[in-house]
């Protein structure tokens, strides 16, 4: 039910953090994994980590906010693999500022990385998934798809948008046997949250106290939900948004 042997999976931002955790999960279940990012050194290290586990893996350098670059990426996937079965839209960023201090450029750059990239990648993946006869799309949201936070207006807008975008493509493409679901991670220990922790004294402890599981998440905690949503185990699951947060959202 969870076997992904023969499946081709592309993970944006798969060269580090949560994306790499999910790529490892998919690879361990048999998928060939393509990790996408901008930083060549990070991508090389991710590739080594995947190959050390005997995962069939490749790395592509691409900026997922660039329409032409995204098309080149999916054209390369088509040339090399002829199809795509799994797309994980995980690349993300943030600017932590109250809304009145946010510039238009900052607003646009966060929206581009977190939301527009998912649209560009889904649109480019659609014909490849049609060719494959089915597809699984996982879009990464956040607790801030649900909650508000004073420093996260654009991040929250982009992540709320991810949930609605996911529901829309789930309805549009169900006829094509393409499913789309969102995952909403809680506080996960990555470069992104290291940045927040360096700006906000006491954040680490506050998250611990608020999280019923009593710990921060690790990228590996996202592997299981990625495997579920990308495997036959979830064939009747579409348009949903699954928190993976140690209970943060229900406490
Ligand atoms: P990281 O900063 O560790 O990873 C982000 C990844 O996105 C990097 O691999 C980066 O690769 C890639 N990326 C960023 N911009 C671009 C771009 N323009 N083009 C291509 N790749 C890009 O963050 P996380 O692993 O923490 O975050 C992953 C996702 O999970 C994000 O969408 C984030 O919003 C979400 N999330 C994270 C939470 C957490 O607690 N960590 C909580 C909730 C959601 P490169 O450096 O090579 O560009």
pLDDT digits (tens, 9 = 90+) for 219-233: 999 999 999 999 999
Domain of 53, CATH number, reads 3.40.50.720
Whether 248 is catalytic is no
**Rounded distance from Cα 92 to ligand 1 centre (Å):** 4
143 neighbors 249 (Cβ within 8 angstroms): yes
**Residue range of the domain that includes 156:** 8-186+219-241
Convert the pLDDT of each residue in 130-175 to its tens digit. Answer: 999 999 999 999 999 999 999 999 999 999 999 999 999 999 999 9
Give a yes or no: residue 196 inside a domain. no
Atom 4, ligand 1: residue with shortest CA distance? 17
HSE, side-chain direction, 13 A CA sphere, residue 14: 33
pLDDT < 50 regions, the chain: none
Decide the pairing of beta strands 135-140 and 57-61.
unpaired
Which pLDDT does position 191 carry in this prediction?
96
- Which backbone phi and psi does 126 adopt, to 5 degrees? -55, -50
Atom 44, ligand 1: residue with shortest CA distance? 142
Q: Ligand 1, residues 20, 49, 189, 190: which to mutate, most atoms within 8 A of Cβ?
A: 190
**Rounded distance from Cα 185 to ligand 1 centre (Å):** 12
How many domains does the chain divide into?
1
Give a yes or no: residue 97 inside a domain. yes
Give a yes or no: residue 202 inside a domain. no
Give a yes or no: residue 107 inside a domain. yes
Give a yes or no: residue 204 inside a domain. no
**Rounded distance from Cα 139 to ligand 1 centre (Å):** 12
Give a yes or no: residue 248 inside a domain. no
Q: Ligand 1, residues 46, 91, 195: which to mutate, most atoms within 8 A of Cβ?
A: 91
Atom 31, ligand 1: residue with shortest CA distance? 92
**Marked catalytic residue, from 151, 155, 204, 248:** 155
Which pLDDT does position 6 carry in this prediction?
97
229 vs 234: CA distance, rounded Å: 5
Which pLDDT does position 185 carry in this prediction?
98
**Rounded distance from Cα 93 to ligand 1 centre (Å):** 6
Return the ligand 1 atom nearest residue 15 CA.
9
- Which backbone phi and psi does 179 adopt, to 5 degrees? -105, 150
Which pLDDT does position 127 carry in this prediction?
97
Range list of H helices, the chain? 17-28, 40-52, 67-81, 104-111, 117-132, 153-173, 191-199, 203-210, 223-230
In 3D space, the residue among 57, 66, 48 whose CA is nearest the CA of residue 28 turns out to be 57
Give a yes or no: residue 56 inside a domain. yes
Q: Which residues contact 243 (CB under 8 A, 6 or more apart)?
A: 143, 146, 184, 185, 186, 249
Helix H or strand E encompassing 136: strand 135-140
The whole-chain average pLDDT of the chain stands at 98
């Amino acid at each position: 039910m969870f076997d992904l042997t023969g499946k081709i999976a592309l993970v944006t931002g798969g060269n580090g953090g949560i994306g790499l955790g999910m790529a490892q999960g998919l690879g361990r279940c048999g998928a060939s994994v393509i990790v996408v990012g901008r930083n060549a050194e990070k991508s090389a290290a991710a590739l080594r980590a995947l190959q050390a586990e005997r995962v069939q893996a490749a790395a592509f350098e691409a900026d997922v906010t660039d329409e032409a670059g995204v098309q080149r990426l999916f054209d390369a996937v088509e040339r090399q693999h002829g199809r795509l079965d799994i797309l994980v839209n995980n690349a993300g960023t943030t600017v932590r500022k109250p809304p009145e201090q946010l510039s238009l450029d900052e607003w646009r750059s966060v929206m581009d990385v977190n939301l527009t990239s998912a649209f560009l990648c889904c649109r480019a993946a659609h014909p490849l998934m049609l060719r494959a006869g089915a597809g699984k799309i996982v879009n990464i949201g956040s607790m801030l798809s649900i909650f508000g936070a004073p420093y996260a207006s654009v991040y929250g807008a982009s992540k709320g948008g991810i949930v609605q975008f996911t529901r829309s493509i789930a309805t549009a493409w169900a006829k094509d046997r393409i499913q789309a679901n969102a995952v909403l991670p809680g506080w996960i220990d990555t470069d992104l949250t290291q940045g927040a922790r360096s700006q906000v004294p006491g954040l680490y402890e506050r998250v611990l106290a608020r999280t019923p599981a009593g710990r921060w998440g690790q990228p590996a905690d996202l592997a299981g939900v990625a495997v579920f949503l990308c495997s036959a185990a979830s064939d009747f699951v579409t348009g949903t948004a699954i928190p993976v947060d140690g209970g943060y959202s229900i406490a």
